[in-house]
Chain A
Amino acid sequence: MISADIPTEHQELLDQLKDMIVAIDSAGACRTAERIVAEKIDPMRAIKYSIAEAALAIGHKFDTGECFLPHLVMVGDLMDQVTMILEVGIPQEDCLKKKVVVIGAVQGDMHSVGKNLVGTMLRSGGFEVHDLGVDVPSATFIQKAKDVKADLIALSSLLTTTMPYQREVIDDLVSMGLRHKFKVIIGGGPVTSEYAVEIGADAYGKDAVDALVVAKKMFGME
């Protein structure tokens, strides 16, 4: 995307940063981020463009089988590094506030890979992700969501006999008067969009890429 309102060489730097993140070139991406800061290019523009576009590109590559979970992890780490460089000159109160996600596999469920994929994808896509791991009781999800002031609780279930715990989290939010505070997205092998509706979830993600698309749409981040 070429923007008319910035010099061409600045746009080139923003594109270079995006490309280096996608290529997982840590040294190159960090150097480019430092140049962006040195050239006094608006760091928020770099975050909203370079990093966001990189996330989209990586998501597409994952979908087409060009990259895999480890690449998502490395891209996520690199995005954090680059963001720290870019945010050096930004007053704390002006830093882009990320939407916060608490994610985990529900109680009784030890399967982590799907949850890891979604969490990493969300992180690459600009969310702040708190991963609670596996076999997470409802109370733990809710307490963490309160502690970090989460926007979204993401519940993974890979077994039909752990799906009831997705319902349990939502029911507990309701009984605690907290339902309105958090959006809830569910997913996992046996989970369906119909089940999401049945238990009162806000959304369903059929896979990691879809979860990111749905989450971004939920918060107007397309």
Chain B
Amino acid sequence: MRLPFFEILERAKKGPAMEEKEFDMSIFHRTQALQKKFGIKYDPETPLVIDGDLPDRIYQAGRELFLELGAYCPNTRRAIKISEAELDREIAECPTAVDLGAGQDRVKMAHRSVAGNEDVVVVAGLQTLPFSDEQTMETIYYGCARDRCVDGIWGGIILKHDQRHEIQAGAPSEIYQYRKTVEALRRAINRAGRPGMILVNNAPSSVATIAMFDEEAGLRRTDYMEVTGMSEMKVTYDDLNRTAYALAHGTPIHGTHSSIIGGFSANPEGAAIVAVAASLQLISIHKAECFRCGTVDARIKSRVSRAQLWVAGTGIQALNRNTKLIVDGTIGDHPAAGPGTKQYLYESAAGHIVSTVMGAHSTEGTRKFVVGLTPNYGTPLESRWMGEVCKSAVGIDFATADRLVRYLLAKYEDNLVDAPAGATFEELYDRDRLEPLPKYRKLYEEVKNEIQTQGLVFKDWSN
């Protein structure tokens, strides 16, 4: 039997007491030692690790780190630790597949193998994007939902109610507005003729996230509850509120955590170890059935630098080679470049390809990394791109993936700091026809053909 949730809550109250700084510095000291112990070394010349046992050593190191440190609860200032036997049971008894969506839109999100042929689940949409008004948001999400290459969509938020009142996290306005947002998402997918497709949205606070659940008008038991582990290797009561609700309500739990290159993980090697450790945290402590194994870089506003591809890709590979867990990657979700640029497509493609080839699903949507308060800074075409690339990458071999990623890196990695800003929905789309303007469509097709010549054969979704 997996560790009961109430046992986790007890350990949050009674685990070893320590200050947060002590826990944080432990991550650094232990990952430095584990790199040496397991001979883990990042080679910038090999962004994709395609042979050898490095992923297995990273798995062992991550496992050892999690067993040693546990996860830190800032609310109680204690570490939640589990034993090796308990971890083994968590891994053995965690589901290897979970059904998401309903009716004709139902999909099975199952464990995938590295460079395998198993179906990949894609939840695209424009993750946490701010919108100017409900009608525009619903229009854009309807556009996303029409694409058969995506299995679900992530929602955003309208930043002002009635275009006047700011929405603030933790305030009553957050609950109201997120609830109204998800109702608009439901209308969008109904209009697209896909009433059962997966919907996800995640408010800053647990209470606003929970308020979005409503079988008639909001998130359903066939969607999933997003639970975030705070970077790095932390779990707050607010995170556990979401778990508590999902368990009581009967909704699958999807966990997400990002190790931080430059943070207490320090270097890419440390970040890979922490990415694995935190994944084990997500299933054991947050009770996730599926989870994202991810990383960010403290200095770069993109998720697809060379080092990040290595960290996330190798971490995902480590988990898929050594367990039957359901892993999400979504490495390509947040490019530095903006919509309407070739760089957005290159960056996100690199991440999507690595995610799929390493055996992960991609279920966390997409948008430019930094959008600030600019509303409507995304279009259905980036969502479609995510679906098209992730699904077309199923079954490609390592050599092809490696060639594609190197090709794409050469296109964008020198431009991550001063990436092109791109444009908004109004500047890129014919709103009435809900089609990309000719310039954007041409750009999209050019990049698609370009990547096709490098070995990614795009599936035809027109039927």
A-B contact count (CB 8 A): 102
Alpha-carbon gap, A71 to B265, bound state (A): 11
Cβ contact within 8 Å between A189 and B370: yes
B169 and chain A: residue at smallest CB distance: A108
Whole-angstrom CA separation of A198 from B54 in the bound complex: 49
| Docked CA distance A71–B261 (Å) | 13
A132 interfacial by beta-carbon distance below 8 Å: no
Chain A residues with Cβ below 8 Å from B48 are none
- B28 to A114, Cβ gap below 8 A? no
Residue in A65, A162, A195 whose CB lies within 8 Å of B262: A65
Q: A108 with B170: in contact, given A161-B204, A163-B373 (CB under 8 Å)?
A: yes
Q: A110-B236, A161-B157 are in contact. Are A192 and B267 (CB under 8 A)?
A: no
Distance in angstroms from B268 CB to nearest chain A CB is: 10
Q: Is the interface of A mostly helix, strand, loop or mixed?
A: loop
A109–B228 CA distance with the chains assembled, in angstroms: 13
Most buried by B among A62, A113, A195, A207: A113
Contact present for A68 and B263 (CB under 8 Å): yes
Say whether B168 contacts A65, CB under 8 Å: no
Complex Cα spacing A65 to B266, Å: 9
Determine if B171 is an interface residue (Cβ-Cβ < 8 Å). yes
**A65 to chain B: which residues have CB within 8 Å?**
262, 299
Interface residues of A in 135-166 (CB under 8 A from B): 135, 159-165
On chain A, the number of residues with a Cβ less than 8 Å from chain B's Cβ atoms is: 35
Contacts of B262 in A (CB 8 A): 62, 65, 68-69, 117
Contact of A162 with B231 in the complex, beta carbons under 8 Å: no
CB contact between A63 and one of B166, B263, B299, B301 (< 8 Å): that residue: B299
**B264: interface (CB < 8 Å):** yes
Give the bracket for the number of chain B residues in contact with chain A. 35 or more
Contact of B25 among A73, A112, A113, A189 (CB under 8 A): A73
Q: Is B33 an interface residue (CB 8 A)?
A: no
Scoring A69, A116, A159, A191 by chain B CB atoms within 10 A of each residue's CB, the highest score goes to A69
A165 to B261, CA, bound (A): 28
> Is A190's CB under 8 angstroms from B370's CB?
yes
Would B266 and A69 count as touching, CB distance under 8 A?
A: yes
CA A77 to CA B263, docked complex, whole Å: 17
Report Cα–Cα, A117/B205, bound state, in Å. Answer: 24
Q: Pick the contact of B157 from A68, A107, A134, A160 — CB < 8 Å?
A: A160
* CB proximity of A199 to chain B, nearest CB, Å: 11
Q: Which residues of B pack against A, CB within 8 Å?
A: 21, 24-25, 28, 74, 128, 130, 157, 159, 166-171, 174, 203-205, 230-232, 236, 238, 260-267, 298-299, 301, 369-373
| CB-CB nearest 8 A-B residue pairs | A108-B169, A108-B170, A70-B28, A68-B266, A161-B169, A164-B166, A190-B372, A162-B169
Q: Show 11 A/B contacts (Cβ-Cβ < 8 Å), sorted by A.
A: A65-B262, A69-B262, A69-B263, A69-B266, A73-B25, A159-B204, A160-B159, A161-B168, A161-B204, A162-B168, A195-B373
